[in-house]
Amino acid sequence: MHLLENALGPTRLWVAGYCHDVFGYVPSARILQEGGYETRGLDRGDTVGQFTSEAQDLIVAALTSLARETSRLK
């Protein structure tokens, strides 16, 4: 949450949940390094995937771009 708040600003943060029938937790690079159950990735039965430490940067970059496109961020 802090990564997005730092990128978008404290009053520009939005939260999306239950998107396209998929929900879950995306671990930060720090959590991935520490390990634990959160690092297991996505498992929906038909889809299994693991997160890399680059995932957080890709997500923050995509949300920053979307915020600019929608005039939520200059």
Instruction: Evaluate whether residue 74 is within a structural domain.
Output: no
Instruction: Evaluate whether residue 36 is within a structural domain.
Output: yes
Instruction: Evaluate whether residue 32 is within a structural domain.
Output: yes
Instruction: Evaluate whether residue 47 is within a structural domain.
Output: yes
Tell me the two tokens of residue 46.
């038909």
pLDDT tens digits, 8-24: 887 766 666 666 655 56
Q: Are 17 and 42 in contact (CB under 8 A)?
A: no
Instruction: Evaluate whether residue 17 is within a structural domain.
Output: no
Question: CA neighbours within 13 Å on the CB side: how many for 36?
Answer: 11
Instruction: Evaluate whether residue 55 is within a structural domain.
Output: yes
Q: What pLDDT is attached to residue 9?
A: 80
Instruction: Evaluate whether residue 14 is within a structural domain.
Output: no
Single-letter amino acid, residue 11: T
Instruction: Evaluate whether residue 64 is within a structural domain.
Output: yes
- Ranges of residues in the chain with a pLDDT under 70 are 1, 12-24, 41-48, 74
Q: Model's pTM, two decimal places? A: 0.66
Alpha-carbon distance of 12 to 64, in angstroms, equals 10
The radius of gyration computed from the CA coordinates of the chain, to the nearest angstrom, equals 14
Name the residue range of residue 54's domain: 2-9+22-69
Structural domain count, the chain: 1
